[in-house]
Amino acid sequence: MSWIEALILGIIQGLTEFLPVSSSGHLEIAKVLFGDKSVPAESMLMTVILHGATALSTIVVFRKDILEIINGLFQLKWNDEMKFSIKIIISMVPAAIVGVTFNDELEAFFGGKIMFVGFMLLITGVLLFFADKAKVTGKNVGFGHSLIIGISQMIAILPGISRSGATISTAVLLGIDKERAARFSFLMVVPLILAKVAKDILSGEITTDSAQLMPLSIGFVAAFITGLLACTWMIKIVKNSKLSYFAIYCLIVGTIAILATI
């Protein structure tokens, strides 16, 4: 992979990680357009690195919230910070179990299966339409909600299912305030992504002497910078109920992806 391709993939990841259009799905489509010949494991590696970059941008944007979560865990007091920290942990469980148990099977979905990505984008689009019509409430995330939202995040491991779209839509359909839903959605993924990157580094899958180091680095920086902008933008979009625009976009791109493979 050339540096310019890595740059474009980084920009795509940074923008689409926070917008409800499936960053992993767009990355798979982009790789096919570039004629990427990576085996699924290598394709998955680039995806993990780029997601790590957007996780870092999330940490920067929500640094105060993350500090509150950490403080909540160490204070050992049943206060709002502790409760929120436990909710984040609960939301991580489904995706963590599937990620560890079915890692090899999941890698197979990141090998240019564009028709599959197209159908998943259609599902994302329909989900966003329903969420956009949900009534505005002031409800906060409960412990039961955390598990249900976590299951949505687990399903969104599949390329084409938007993680932010699935988790925010699920939260909103459960009656949770849209701004709180977006905040919870962005924060709940950070530990999972960082854990995945750390696992790959410790296992030797990411090495400093790899020929992929330069494109991976360029992609990481591009995803981080664009992610900072998109994260802030997305919170405003969700608050102002503009999800239907992204639903239409997902339906169009999904349809084109399916037709292109027939």
Predicted confidence at residue 44, as pLDDT, reads 64
In tens digits, what is the pLDDT along the chain, a chain of 262 residues?
Answer: 678 888 988 898 888 888 888 888 888 888 788 776 554 555 667 777 887 898 899 889 888 888 877 777 777 778 888 888 889 999 999 988 988 887 777 777 766 678 999 999 999 999 999 988 887 677 889 999 999 999 999 999 888 899 889 999 999 999 998 888 888 998 888 888 778 777 776 776 555 555 577 888 899 999 999 999 888 888 777 777 678 889 999 999 999 999 988 7
CB-CB contact of 230 with 246 (8 Å)? no
CA distances from 32 to 17, 27, 110, 120 (A): 19, 9, 11, 17
Q: In this predicted structure, what is the pLDDT of residue 210?
A: 58
pLDDT of 38: 57
pTM of the complete model beyond 0.85: no
| Per-residue model confidence (pLDDT) at position 2 | 77
* Total count of domains within the chain: 1
Residue 248 is predicted with a pLDDT of 94
35: containing domain: 3-261
- pLDDT value of position 111: 66
CA–CA gap between residue 111 and residue 241 (Å, rounded): 34
CB count within 10 Å of CB 134 equals 18
